[in-house]
Amino acid sequence: MKDMLSKQAVGLKPSGIRKFFDIVSEMEDALSLGVGEPDFDTPWHIRDEGIYSLEKGRTFYTSNSGLMELRQEICNYIERKQGVTYDPKHEVLITVGGSEAIDIGLRAVVNPGDEVLIPQPSFVSYEPCAIMAGATPVIIELKAENEFRLTAEELENAITEKTKILVLPFPNNPTGAIMERKDLEEIAEVIRKHDILVMSDEIYAELTYKEKHVSIIEIEGMRERTILINGFSKAYAMTGWRLGYACGPREIIEQMVKLHQFAIMCAPTTSQYAAVEALRNGDGDVEEMKTAYNQRRRFLMNAFKEMKLECFEPFGAFYVFPCIKEFGMTSEEFAERFLTEEKVAVVPGTAFGDCGEGYLRISYAYSLDNLKLAIGKLADFVEKLRKQK
Amino acid sequence: MREELLSIIERNSRIDLKELAVILGVEEIDVVNELQALEEEGIVCGYHTMIDWEKTSIEKVSALIEVRVTPQRGQGFDNIAERIYKYPEVTSVYLISGGFDLLVTLEGKSLKEISGFVSDKLSTLESVLSTATHFILKKYKDHGTILTKKYEDKREKVSP
């Protein structure tokens, strides 16, 4: 058949992670620092609630927007954490992971020709989702000297009259960067001035190691123009349950509910019941996991210092983003050699945008013992490369 | 730092001081001082090793014994507890709420040794009213450590 495929779909670049995945899957004894999900199992009381909901026969669709009980708990949670209120009836939508919320959130607000501002390095989905929504992605290259934060100046320079929405991916995957209140206040001014929307992807909100996470919805005039995205994957170690949510102004959520209804129907029912338990009784688990991540983060920063590998100190998510420019290799070359010579997988920074060139994403969603082993190999590899120079 | 330090060494008492300092984000000397203080205050009272004796060829039998006793005037349960915990084969003695007073755990080389202890030593104590001995058949989890299964990383090796 001629022209079987969508040109737009074919035109999407395949994920830069795929290649490494393929090589690692072939290697049996490879270590990895390449995962983007917690190493913890979902806390047992949450799993138990999922099992209980199945036993009870709660195996039907929920309403399109998700269980009212869960939406209410989400609103309570946001009020508790951010001091901002949402109406569970009209301003919350339960999605299949944060990823779905990114997709339908963009599709709900953009028109052909609209520009979507995407700071990079960042999660792999924003750009393809913007393209498939018919918009034009405009990349803002974040800089190491700003600790990969988005500055008001960078934002101002990227805005045109076609700009519709800014994607704000903090705490950031892959850099671990965070935006603090003053950073958000500065960019909020630009956003208000140009009257654009924000999609704030705060999936790592619970995992910050400095002050408590600040959301842009807390800044004056921002709640009404922000689609807030969060989910259960990272905070509660629930990646496989596929559960996220979006909160925002009623007009936007209404359109998102339509898209969600036709494509998805509703998020998995079992997961929704488990998530209610997570929000009600999961604060202690989050705190415990966060403490462990922070210990590992400190361990890695110290290890980089000892091997004299340049790396800014990240305060969010569970990634560090060391610089490997001194070795005169591309990120991909470095990652490939490291994998074949030392059998440790890391993800090249370029998997998260061209400006990730010269960096590696190293995940610390691993036990300290695992990290020690893998980082020991990195130290050996770095030393070997320096000798070869 | 105290609580975090305690919960780390509770799980891994062999962790070295330098590493402790790094992961706690403090100086090594602070860790040394804090550990010393914890020991002096009797908060850290020992460093043990978790052993799954089942996996060795060494025969060991352990039992939980529920003990009902008559408390003594002016002494409560302390005196009788002391008489029991002084036996080296007794590994722990707890005062508990509920139908019994003391929960005693015991380790011995054989069933015979344990039953001997209960009938000759424990039951014959004057204030002991009754005992119920439960032999441990299998340990699934001990001191927060799961003994029956090893951790296995089930994740995909690389993901975004």
Do A235 and A206 form a contact (C-beta atoms < 8 A)?
yes
Q: What φ, ψ does residue A34 adopt, rounded to 5°?
A: -110, 5
Q: Which domain holds residue A187?
A: 58-280
B10 and B62 housed in the same domain: no
Q: What is the pLDDT of residue A24?
A: 87
Distance from CA of B136 to the nearest CA of A (A): 25
Domain carrying residue B131: 53-138
Stretch A122-130: mean pLDDT, rounded?
A: 97
Q: Do A35 and B157 touch (CB under 8 A)?
A: yes
Residue B80 has pLDDT above 90, yes or no: yes
Assess whether pLDDT exceeds 90 at residue B148. no
User: Does A295 lie in the same domain as A274?
Assistant: no
- How many domains is chain B built from? 2
Average pLDDT over residues A310-329: 97
What pLDDT score does A151 carry? Answer: 98
Same domain for B28 and B57? no
Tell whether A229 and A272 lie within a shared domain.
yes
- pLDDT of res. A278: 98
SS3 for A243-303 is: CEEEECCHHHHHHHHHHHHHHCCCCCHHHHHHHHHHHHHCHHHHHHHHHHHHHHHHHHHHH
Asked if A111 is an interface residue toward chain B (Cβ–Cβ < 8 A), one would say: no
Q: Give the sheet arrangement for strand B61-69, strand by strand.
A: B90-95, B102-108, B61-69, B128-135
Are A293 and A276 members of one domain? no
In B, minimum Cα distance to A239 occurs at B155
Q: Is the pLDDT of residue A237 over 90?
A: yes
Q: How confident is the model at residue A23 (pLDDT cuts 50, 70, 90)?
A: confident
Residue whose tokens read 């039998």:
B61
With a cut of 90, say whether residue B77 has pLDDT above it: yes
Q: Do residues A146 and A188 share a domain?
A: yes
> Residue A95 belongs to a domain with what CATH number?
3.40.640.10
B157 in A contact zone (CB under 8 Å) = yes
pLDDT of A14 higher than 90: no
- The tens digit of pLDDT for each residue in A156-187 reads 999 999 999 999 999 999 999 999 999 999 99
Q: State the complex-level ipTM.
A: 0.86
pLDDT of A31 strictly over 90? yes
Which among A35, A36, A291 has CB closest to B4?
A291
Chain B residues near residue A21 by CB distance under 8 angstroms: 156-159
- Optimal mutation site among B19, B158, B159, interface A, most CBs of chain A within 10 A: B158
Q: Is the pTM of this model over 0.90?
A: yes
Lowest mean pLDDT among A25-34, A68-77, A241-250, A318-327: A25-34
Q: Among residues of chain B, what percentage have pLDDT more than 70?
A: 100
Residue A268 has pLDDT above 90, yes or no: yes
Q: Do B22 and A298 touch (CB under 8 A)?
A: yes
Whichever domain contains A304, its CATH number is 3.90.1150.10
Binary contact (B158, A124; C-beta < 8 A): no
- State the amino acid at position A166 in one-letter form: L
Cα–Cα separations (whole angstroms), residue B5 to A209, B10, B24: 17, 8, 7
- Residue A249 confidence class, pLDDT cut points 50, 70, 90: very high
What's the confidence (pLDDT) of residue B144?
A: 86
In a domain, A298, yes or no: yes
Hey, how many other C-beta atoms are within 10 angstroms of the C-beta on A238? 28
Give the tens place of pLDDT for each residue, B54-75. Answer: 899 999 999 999 999 998 888 8
Number of residues that make up chain A: 389
Structural domain tally of chain A? 2
pLDDT value of residue A83: 98
- State whether residue A30 sits within 8 Å of chain B by CB: yes
pLDDT tops 90 at residue A296? yes
Are residues B23 and B95 both part of a single domain?
A: no
B155 contacts in A (CB within 8 Å)? Answer: 35, 37, 39
Chain A contact for B144 (CB, 8 A cutoff): no
A15 pLDDT band, cuts 50/70/90, is: confident
pLDDT, mean of residues A288-317: 97
Residues A297, A189 share a domain: no
Residues of B within 8 A of A294 (CB-CB) are 25
- DSSP3 helix / strand / coil % (chain B, rounded to 5): 35, 25, 45
- So what's the pLDDT on residue B150? 82
A291 and A260 share one domain: no
- Asked if residue A1 is part of any domain, the answer here is no
A17–chain B Cβ distance below 8 A for any pair:
yes
Task: Identify whether residues A256 and A158 lie together within a single domain.
Answer: yes
Whether A175 and chain B come into contact, CB under 8 Å, resolves to no
- Indicate whether A205 and A352 sit together in one domain: no
B158 and A CB contact within 8 Å: yes
> In whole numbers, what is the pLDDT of chain A averaged over residues?
96
Please state the rounded mean pLDDT for residues A90-116.
98
Average pLDDT, chain B: 93
- In this structure, the answer to whether residues A71 and A181 fall within a common structural domain is yes
CATH number at residue B8: 1.10.10
**Using one digit for the tens of pLDDT, what is the confidence trace for A269-289?**
999 999 999 999 999 999 999
- Is A302 in CB contact (< 8 Å) with chain B? yes
The reply to whether residue A15 touches residue B160, judged by beta carbons under 8 angstroms, is: yes
